[in-house]
Amino acid sequence: MHIGLNGGALFLNEVVLDINGAKGPNRYGCDVFFLIRENGVIASSGYNKTNEQINNNCSVHGIGDYCAEKIKRAGWQIDKSYPWK
């Protein structure tokens, strides 16, 4: 979790979810996923990005922090275009 200050008020804006804890590989998009809190709503990081941006980020050459959104857009399925299976 990332915690910061906004005008003196404490807020939480990002949740890093590791689906298997300390067990490896601990890679973004593989077993580590990002959620964000915006306007009181929890959403997957990248929810407001285009499909092209999601696909570039969630790839073997991307950072991988939009991979939860890629899975969500595929109906919560890991489809054939997903870079890690």
pLDDT tens sequence across 40-63:
889 999 999 999 999 999 999 999
What pTM was estimated for this model as a whole?
0.80
3-state secondary structure of 82: coil
Whether pLDDT at 82 is above 50: yes
- Which amino acid does the sequence have at 62? G
Note the pLDDT of residue 23.
Answer: 92
**Over the stretch 1-25, which tens digit does the pLDDT of each residue have?**
444 444 554 456 888 899 998 899 9
The set of long-range contacts for 60-64, using a CB threshold of 8 Å and a minimum separation of 24, is 62/29, 63/28, 64/27, 64/28, 64/29, 64/30, 64/32
Residue 77 has pLDDT above 50, yes or no: yes
Q: How far apart are CA 25 and CA 22, in angstroms?
A: 9
